[in-house]
Amino acid sequence: MRLNLNLTQKGIILVSVPLIFELAFVGLLAGLWWQSEDARDRMAQSRAILADIHELPRCLYEAVTYLMQWRMTRNPVLIGRSDETVKQVKTIFADMDRLAKNNERQQEHVRKLKAYGDTCLYLVDQYKLSIGAEQGGSAIKSPTDFYFQSLRAFQPLVRESKAFEEEETAILKRDPEADLKARALLQVVFIAGLVANIGITVVLSFFFSQGIVKRLAVVSDNSMRLASRAPLREPMPGRDEVANLDKVLHAVADALTKAEQSKQEFVSMIGHDLRSPLMALQVSLSLISKGKYGELSSDGKARVTKGEESLDRLVKLVNDLLDIDRIEAGMLELHLERTSSLQIAKQSIDAIRALAEANSISVIAPTSDFQLVADERRLVQVLVNLLSNAVKFSPDNSEVHISNEEDRGAVLFKVQDQGRGIPPAQKANIFDRFKQVEARDATDYKGTGLGLAICKAIVEKHHGDIGVISEEGKGSTFWFRIPIGQKS
């Protein structure tokens, strides 16, 4: 049965039904979004607290250790290091107070840690007094007395830190599950709302003239684009109900873009959290290999060396992934300053010197020097990547040459090797992510396939360009060009 509705009545139906639906839909999306944001904020706070918990015992232990080492060596540098670690402890307490100010449970832990920490700092101050007075002015009479008193004061702090850490770790394990559930629910609601919205649009489109149908077709197209994450059309002009619906779709697209940015920040956060324990493992393995904890057998030394190499590769992979994440998010920042091409080359050679010597390869530095405005650290990163590849793929007892020259208002860097070269078919995609000349390179040469992609992004961020000249079997010359004066 057809309803005898005039245009005004049809307009009322078109306005009221989609408007109510959209308001409910956006309200539900907003509620789910805030739930996800709240879970993410709790996770970020817990990670920051955990970082402080990890640092606190170490700093206190170093303050005590430096003083005892000073007593034995009389090296004044150790007193300064002890004072610096004491400042770090106070900074950590201030940061904990700031992070826990809205959480009574965390405040209670911080209060206990500060009490135990103040006891340790008091012992440090007393021992410094005994050092200055040699005999009087302090209740601490000997290094042994200081050591045992510090040990007794340190134990409750460690216990409290461990308890605090266990609670925050439990929160971190629980909150990601809640965040994933909220995201899954958000996706289901979004898809269901999108499908329902399309159905309503199709039904109501029969009540209107051809002009209104066309405008609704634009809204429908934007809905499909949103589902496939394609760019939406330009916002529809006008202030009627159809235009308002289009604006809502653009708002949802903006919300999804922000969600993607939050995901990238989450990945970056996880990467930074991975680096801290990896660096700690590197330090520990380095101390073991140097015999700080006793001499190792030849087999033990070989295993420790293998472990150090594996950790180095893992740290490099984490750093590369973080750089790629920043590049994809458009967050790669440059710190421009005046520098010289020769200084960049020398720093890069120093960074890969051990690798070159291990492969009996001579790295020939440039003799010319040019001034330019650039991010020195990032350009060193580019040159180190190119030099590392040149050394890895060059035969033993060969040479790798670095040169630079002025070229059309820019500095042209070149890295020339005597390696196997690059097949012509590979040149077009050699700077793409996860691309290797040969599939076995990832295993034989421990590569990630990210280095050249990162180099390209850094060079292009400097408004420069990068490329390679190579003939298979006769070596390669990688080059990049950086403008002398950076564009604003």
Per-residue model confidence (pLDDT) at position 341:
93
Tally Cβ neighbours within 10 Å of residue 274: 16
Exposure on the CB side of residue 300, measured as CA atoms within 13 A: 11
Output 436 or 292, whichever has higher pLDDT.
292
Task: From 175, 193, 208, give the residue that closes a domain.
Answer: 208
Per-residue model confidence (pLDDT) at position 340:
93
Output 111 or 287, whichever has higher pLDDT.
111
Tally Cβ neighbours within 10 Å of residue 485: 12
Domain that holds residue 372: 337-483
Give the pLDDT mean for 241-252: 79
Structure confidence by residue, pLDDT tens digits, 211-235:
566 777 777 887 887 776 677 888 8
Task: From 145, 179, 208, give the residue that closes a domain.
Answer: 208
Output 14 or 390, whichever has higher pLDDT.
390
How does residue 280 score in pLDDT terms, banded at 50, 70 and 90?
A: low
Residue 473 — left, alpha, or beta (φ > 0 → left; ψ -120 to 50 → alpha)?
left
Per-residue model confidence (pLDDT) at position 439:
45
Give the pLDDT mean for 282-286: 68
Least confident piece of the model among 143-157, 190-204, 231-245: 190-204
Per-residue model confidence (pLDDT) at position 346:
94
Q: How many domains does the chain have?
A: 2
How does residue 252 score in pLDDT terms, banded at 50, 70 and 90?
A: confident
Q: What is the CATH number of the domain that holds 435?
A: 3.30.565.10
Structure confidence by residue, pLDDT tens digits, 467-486:
999 888 888 999 999 999 76
Per-residue model confidence (pLDDT) at position 339:
92
Question: What is the C-alpha separation between 273 and 61, in angstroms, rounded?
Answer: 22
Contacts 24+ apart (CB under 8 A), 325-332: 325/264, 325/267, 325/268, 325/271, 326/268, 327/453, 327/454, 327/457, 328/264, 329/261, 329/264, 331/264, 332/457, 332/458, 332/461
Together in a domain, 54 and 201: yes
* Residue 136 resides in a domain: yes
* Residue 76 resides in a domain: yes
* Residue 146 resides in a domain: yes
Per-residue model confidence (pLDDT) at position 315:
67
Per-residue model confidence (pLDDT) at position 7:
38
Q: What is the CATH number of the domain that holds 69?
A: 1.20.120
Structure confidence by residue, pLDDT tens digits, 311-341:
666 666 666 667 666 676 666 788 899 999 9
How does residue 3 score in pLDDT terms, banded at 50, 70 and 90?
A: very low
Residue 310 has pLDDT above 80, yes or no: no
Question: What is the C-alpha separation between 165 and 159, in angstroms, rounded?
Answer: 10
Per-residue model confidence (pLDDT) at position 136:
46
For residue 139, the 8-state DSSP code is S
Per-residue model confidence (pLDDT) at position 342:
93
Which residue's entry shows tokens 């290091």?
81
Nearest-Å Rg of the Cα atoms of the chain is 31
Residue 5 has pLDDT above 60, yes or no: no
* Residue 177 resides in a domain: yes
Considering the entire predicted model, what is its pTM? 0.43
Handedness of CA 320, 474, 444, 388 (dihedral sign): negative
Task: From 208, 229, 247, give the residue that closes a domain.
Answer: 208
Per-residue model confidence (pLDDT) at position 386:
93
- Number of H helices and E strands in the chain, helices first, is 12, 7
* Residue 272 resides in a domain: no
Per-residue model confidence (pLDDT) at position 76:
82
* Residue 279 resides in a domain: no
* Residue 11 resides in a domain: yes
Q: What is the mean pLDDT of the chain?
A: 77
Together in a domain, 344 and 203: no
Output 385 or 150, whichever has higher pLDDT.
385
Give the CA-trace dihedral at 377, 382, 385, 386, to 10 degrees. -140
Structure confidence by residue, pLDDT tens digits, 160-203:
888 888 888 887 777 566 566 666 666 776 677 777 767 766 66
Give the pLDDT mean for 130-145: 60
* Residue 351 resides in a domain: yes
Give the pLDDT mean for 80-99: 87
Structure confidence by residue, pLDDT tens digits, 407-424:
888 999 999 998 888 888
